[in-house]
Chains A and B, each alone.
Chain A
Amino acid sequence: MSALHLEKVSRIYGKGDVEVRALDGIDLDVEPGEFLAIVGPSGSGKTTLLNILGCLDSPTTGRIVYDGTDLHGLDETGLSAYRRDRISFVFQSYNLVQVLTVRENVELPLVIEARARSKGAKKADEIRDIALAMIEAVGLSDKADRFPRELSGGQEQRVAIARALVKEPLVVLADEPTANLDSHTAGEILDLMRGINERRGTTFVFSTHDRLVMERARRIVTLHDGRIASDLPSPSSAAGEADKRGADPAGRGIGDIASARRR
């Protein structure tokens, strides 16, 4: 079963003369564990597609099926719940909550989840342990009590990745995650995500212009005027083994944490 299934998805803004067809009949299947890049020129519909995949926006027409669940007709509360439980985001400008420490930022998705559940919610101690393990996995154990303003851009993005992964989402949607980073740091961050993808099987979907992302992606979907212009395996995906060797050692522990949590 596909992790994500999009069927004739269109997103139209405005009406009549001012109608903008941001997405136009998109069919897309994303398999579990994919490392997929959505590319295309500005205005091609990348962000709209990512918003629809992230349940932040609803398609005007078409179906979206997540892990066998049809999201058609879910209201805002239902979509919020779906986002909370199954989807995570990594943003271009990290978007950490400035008044929370690294640990508190990473705890946030679990806290939101716990707030929503009256039964079976994780206890504060449990949430703290999971968050600390995740922070350790992204190599920032010594920064757990720091605030975002005390971190470098690369460190902030690592925190954002830890925050995205802490609740074991079905899919991580990353919107230009390397755009604000220098190429060295961007490479490190991508290797970290790729390592997580390989060890945990977490599905990653990127919207990007970055060559480094495209190099590491296994599949590249190119959008043009709201339509899929091409959907191809990445030329570099054959060289995946070589990529794995270059992965950030910090990413190695994440599969272990995930399996420990599942136990």
Chain B
Amino acid sequence: MDTLWRIAARNVVRHRKRTLITGIVMMVGIGLYIGYDSILSGMDRMAIDSMVSYSSSWLKARTPGYAAESMGFPIDEGIAGPEAAMAAMRKAAPQITATAPRTLFVAQASNYTDAEPVIAAAVDPAADATVFGVAASVGKGRWLAGPEAGATGAAGGNAAPPREVVIGAGLAKDLGLSVGDGLLISARTIYENDNADEFTIVGILDGTAALAGTATVYMGYADARAFLGEGLPVTEIDAAAAPSPSLEKELEGSVQAAALVRAALPSLAVDPVGEFAKDYLALRTSKSKASLLLIAMILLIAAVGIVNTILMSVYSRIREIGVLRAYGMTPKDIRKLFTREGIILGAVGSLAGLGFGALLDWFLVSVGISLSAFGNLDFGSIPINGVMRGEWKPESFIVGLIFGIGVAWLAARIPAKRAGKLEPTEALRFV
């Protein structure tokens, strides 16, 4: 090893206490940054997964007319031949594992005393469960069932079995309803007249789905057609894909699949999940800026520690500097000696930080933080709840290491410059 490195390394080891204190500051700083970045990433994943599971799905196909007025939920903008379209989508994009039809409409839900505006969804109960997580989120009662399963084109049964709905927990609470109660729903039919009918609540969703989903009332297509008109069309087709290892891959895969489906079904407007998560993804950029600000602040504290540590090192070795200068070392060599000490200190602290960060990440990824104690949180209209987990982000380890060593190097230059400026005669006289 080069002598300057050797002297620097041994001085770092020799002054254990100073090294330990500075190292711990760096370790905690970089470790926290890695953990914070991991949880931010996990939060993003959770939020987008929520959208995929409860509202936007991984990929959505609608008519261009519907897409243009989607906030008005126009039920006259139906997809022609939805079964064939779904088959074509699966064929065009092999990443698609399942498809399901949905028709969203605006309605009023009432307990005969109070009423609330709601968005209702006509679904194919069996297919919907393969694409969305709503069916799996029924907290009380059960998901929609019955003979109408899969009836996307035909009418329901002969007799009139009790019409069923599954509603969100918030609506149930607001109207004071529970499973088995009747719910009066009124809405505009495909014939442009208003209709009202009583449905039996068979299931109430848990908080997750209620918050996450666009709709708060779900009913089978058969019941919906009996209610709004037999010609009620499918207004959107939602598709699911196998889970991706990372959020980036998930978003990217969705964009690629959308392009394939668009090519196969040019008459439809096809949007990837990223299109619906625009606001959230914009928020995410500002979050990552905030995390960089965090590391900058933490490293600033570490930098002050490093400046102090190296400065102490310079003052405790002034005579040594004098000797090295007397033996022909140039001011540049002296500066190098102390910047190397800073780099070693930075490397030790950063590596410890990576270790601490890895430990935090391991905890966040495998155990996670339970958010149930905080209730349901809403981040930019995307709900975060349940257990929040982190994600492994190799790039945050690289950033942590580079920032740590870089800041240490920069910080060490201040005292190193001072050491280089010392006159050998003054240094040798120093007691």
* Chain A residues packing against B (C-beta within 8 Å): 51, 54, 56-57, 76-77, 80-81, 83-85, 88-89, 91, 93, 95, 97-100, 104, 107-109, 111-113, 115-116
Known contacts A97-B320, A100-B10, A104-B6: does B326 contact A83 (CB below 8 Å)?
A: yes
The complex places the Cα of A100 from the Cα of B2 at a distance, in Å, of 12
Asked whether A85 lies within 8 Å of B328 as measured between CB atoms, the reply is yes
Asked whether B328 lies within 8 Å of A99 as measured between CB atoms, the reply is no
A111: B residues at CB distance < 8 A: 3
22 contacts between A and B (CB under 8 A): A51-B425, A56-B424, A56-B428, A80-B325, A80-B328, A83-B327, A83-B328, A88-B327, A89-B326, A97-B7, A97-B320, A97-B323, A99-B11, A100-B7, A100-B10, A104-B6, A107-B3, A108-B3, A112-B327, A112-B333, A113-B328, A115-B333
- Across the interface, name the chain A residue whose C-beta is closest to B320: A97
Known contacts A99-B14, A100-B7, A104-B6: does B330 contact A80 (CB below 8 Å)?
A: yes
Asked whether A89 lies within 8 Å of B11 as measured between CB atoms, the reply is no
Known contacts A51-B425, A115-B333: does B7 contact A99 (CB below 8 Å)?
A: yes
A77: B residues at CB distance < 8 A: 330
For residue A172, give the distance in angstroms from its CB to the closest CB of chain B: 12
The complex places the Cα of A256 from the Cα of B205 at a distance, in Å, of 96
The complex places the Cα of A76 from the Cα of B334 at a distance, in Å, of 14
Query: Interface residue tally of chain B, by bracket?
Result: 20 to 34
For the complex, is B29 an interface residue (Cβ under 8 Å from A)? no
- Candidate in B11, B325, B326, B327 with the most chain A CB atoms within 10 angstroms: B327
Known contacts A51-B425, A104-B3: does B322 contact A95 (CB below 8 Å)?
A: yes
Known contacts A56-B428, A104-B3, A111-B3: does B323 contact A95 (CB below 8 Å)?
A: yes
Asked whether A112 lies within 8 Å of B320 as measured between CB atoms, the reply is no
Asked whether A84 lies within 8 Å of B327 as measured between CB atoms, the reply is yes
The complex places the Cα of A204 from the Cα of B425 at a distance, in Å, of 20
Chain B 303-330 interface 0/1 with A at a Cβ cutoff of 8 Å (1 = within): 0000000000000000110111111111
For the complex, is B156 an interface residue (Cβ under 8 Å from A)? no
B322, B329, B425: which contacts A57 (Cβ < 8 A)?
B425
A51, A88, A98, A116: which contacts B320 (Cβ < 8 A)?
A98
- Across the interface, name the chain B residue whose C-beta is closest to A95: B323
B31: A residues at CB distance < 8 A: none
B425: A residues at CB distance < 8 A: 51, 56-57
Asked whether A91 lies within 8 Å of B328 as measured between CB atoms, the reply is no
- Across the interface, name the chain B residue whose C-beta is closest to A114: B3
A115: B residues at CB distance < 8 A: 3, 333
For residue B315, give the distance in angstroms from its CB to the closest CB of chain A: 15
For residue B150, give the distance in angstroms from its CB to the closest CB of chain A: 79
Known contacts A80-B330, A81-B328, A112-B328: does B323 contact A91 (CB below 8 Å)?
A: yes
Asked whether A109 lies within 8 Å of B14 as measured between CB atoms, the reply is no
Asked whether B328 lies within 8 Å of A95 as measured between CB atoms, the reply is no
The complex places the Cα of A112 from the Cα of B325 at a distance, in Å, of 10
- Across the interface, name the chain A residue whose C-beta is closest to B319: A95
The complex places the Cα of A85 from the Cα of B327 at a distance, in Å, of 9
- Which 4 pairs between the two chains have the least Cβ-Cβ distance? A84-B328, A99-B10, A95-B323, A111-B3
A80: B residues at CB distance < 8 A: 325, 328-330
For the complex, is B331 an interface residue (Cβ under 8 Å from A)? yes
Given A56-B428, A111-B3, A116-B328, 19 other A-B contacts at CB below 8 A?
A: A56-B425, A80-B328, A83-B327, A83-B328, A84-B328, A85-B328, A89-B323, A89-B327, A97-B323, A98-B14, A98-B320, A99-B6, A99-B14, A100-B6, A100-B7, A104-B6, A108-B324, A112-B329, A113-B328
The complex places the Cα of A113 from the Cα of B3 at a distance, in Å, of 12
The complex places the Cα of A95 from the Cα of B327 at a distance, in Å, of 12
B333: A residues at CB distance < 8 A: 112, 115
For residue B157, give the distance in angstroms from its CB to the closest CB of chain A: 89
For residue B89, give the distance in angstroms from its CB to the closest CB of chain A: 69
The complex places the Cα of A115 from the Cα of B11 at a distance, in Å, of 21
The complex places the Cα of A89 from the Cα of B327 at a distance, in Å, of 8
- Candidate in B6, B7, B328, B428 with the most chain A CB atoms within 10 angstroms: B328
The complex places the Cα of A84 from the Cα of B330 at a distance, in Å, of 10
- Candidate in B3, B319, B324 with the most chain A CB atoms within 10 angstroms: B3
The complex places the Cα of A112 from the Cα of B328 at a distance, in Å, of 7
B6, B330, B428: which contacts A91 (Cβ < 8 A)?
B428
A84: B residues at CB distance < 8 A: 327-329
Chain B 149-180 interface 0/1 with A at a Cβ cutoff of 8 Å (1 = within): 00000000000000000000000000000000
A54: B residues at CB distance < 8 A: 326
For residue B218, give the distance in angstroms from its CB to the closest CB of chain A: 73
Asked whether B326 lies within 8 Å of A56 as measured between CB atoms, the reply is yes
B10: A residues at CB distance < 8 A: 99-100
B323: A residues at CB distance < 8 A: 89, 91, 95, 97
A112: B residues at CB distance < 8 A: 324, 327-329, 333
B326: A residues at CB distance < 8 A: 54, 56, 83, 89
- Across the interface, name the chain A residue whose C-beta is closest to B7: A99
For residue B412, give the distance in angstroms from its CB to the closest CB of chain A: 17
- Across the interface, name the chain B residue whose C-beta is closest to A147: B10
- Across the interface, name the chain A residue whose C-beta is closest to B431: A93
For residue A163, give the distance in angstroms from its CB to the closest CB of chain B: 8
The complex places the Cα of A93 from the Cα of B318 at a distance, in Å, of 13
The complex places the Cα of A104 from the Cα of B4 at a distance, in Å, of 11
For residue A235, give the distance in angstroms from its CB to the closest CB of chain B: 31
A76: B residues at CB distance < 8 A: 330-331
